[in-house]
Amino acid sequence: MAKSSPDLASLRRYAIARSLFKPTHLPGAIRRLGFVQADPMRAPARAQDLILTWRVKNYRAGDLEQRYPQLDIEEDCFVNYGFLPRESLALMHPRTPKRTWDAKTRQRADELLAWVQTQPQPVHPRQVQQVFDHGQVRRYWGGQTNAVTHLLDGMHYRGMLRVARRDKGTRVYAATAHPEADDSPAARQQRATALLDQVIHLYAPLPARTLGQLVSLLAYGAPHLRAEVRAALAHARQRYGHALIEGQTWFWPAGESPASRSHRPDTQLRLLAPFDPVVWDRRRFEMFWGWTYKFEAYTPASQRKMGHYALPMLWGEDMLGWANLRVVEGRLEHELGFAKPPPQGPQFEIALQQCLAHMSEFLGLD
């Protein structure tokens, strides 16, 4: 337990202050977060760039993709797909997927891996398609894709390939291998507990229900450790700080004090990605700010209330509403929506203009 029990307001300040830390360099920010969720949609930038712009000094959209080959990080699965420190892979690999390949798919994967191992440079899916054309397969969510692309995804997930770099957004692969892990019950439990620690570190403070949801999502990154992760969850009260607040049990890393007066968010206005750690948990979002944020990119346009890619608008510790941004003829345009009466006075206008200037510079606009 923490030395003193926080209330909901102090939890909110703690959540903002610990996640939106003082901007640092790119490797340090990724290491401090532990995971940066990725998304291919660019509106006006990809989610991973929008997450990092508030946490990395002088960050520009695309810096992560450009610098990725030189950084000690990997694209891989965690609770979602994204970027994480390379050493974190040892907690999840060798990964045993829920679905096993049939003999034909396994043979194709082995043949493709053997070919990739002979190539002097990482391979683009287009190169692979020229050598191995296995026709089309149906996507999980409908439609058709090249069987080779589908196989490359499966090989990456199983740890046979790694993403060496991106070419205009397309993953370029290199062969890799993960050492055999200690499969004793104690070692498996240790890895599972370390994964749960990472979840707590990234998203704290967490209501118990959301923590349970994240434990289920960890089956994406470590399906073979599902039982062990649930066992770790059963001991959460012994391992993490926690408190019962307004009928909800909340968890945070041991040794941290959510009630500390040092958690004072600054007065900067920020437009946050839909998958930013501060807003990721929609349940917590509503408890903290009293309104419901919805990601409507996949909602029919006629049914949207906030917009295609609404970015939650955080000013200090108040989530005022949202903004939709777009670039038109090289200039940034914005449209604001408010969940409560808009703030009056010059302070908000100054903060907004500073935020938009930051976003324009981040996007490389004049």
Tens-digit pLDDT profile for residues 165-181: 999 889 999 999 999 99
Residue 143 has pLDDT above 70, yes or no: no
Tokens of 36: 């940066």
Give the range among 2-16, 54-68, 258-272 with minimum mean pLDDT: 2-16
- The per-residue pLDDT for range 206-235, each reduced to its tens digit, is 999 999 999 999 999 999 999 999 999 999
Domains in the chain and their CATH numbers?
103-175 (1.10.10), 269-362 (no CATH)
C-alpha span between 284 and 349 (Å, rounded): 28
- The per-residue pLDDT for range 334-348, each reduced to its tens digit, is 999 999 999 988 999
Residue 1 has pLDDT above 60, yes or no: no
pLDDT value for 330: 92
Going by pLDDT thresholds of 50, 70 and 90, the confidence category of residue 362 is very high
pLDDT value for 135: 67
> In 158-281, which ranges are continuous DSSP H helix?
185-203, 208-221, 226-234, 236-239
Q: Is 237 helix (H, G, I), strand (E, B) or coil?
A: helix
C-alpha span between 256 and 356 (Å, rounded): 33
Give the range among 147-151, 285-289, 312-316 with minimum mean pLDDT: 147-151
pLDDT value for 4: 66
pTM equals 0.94
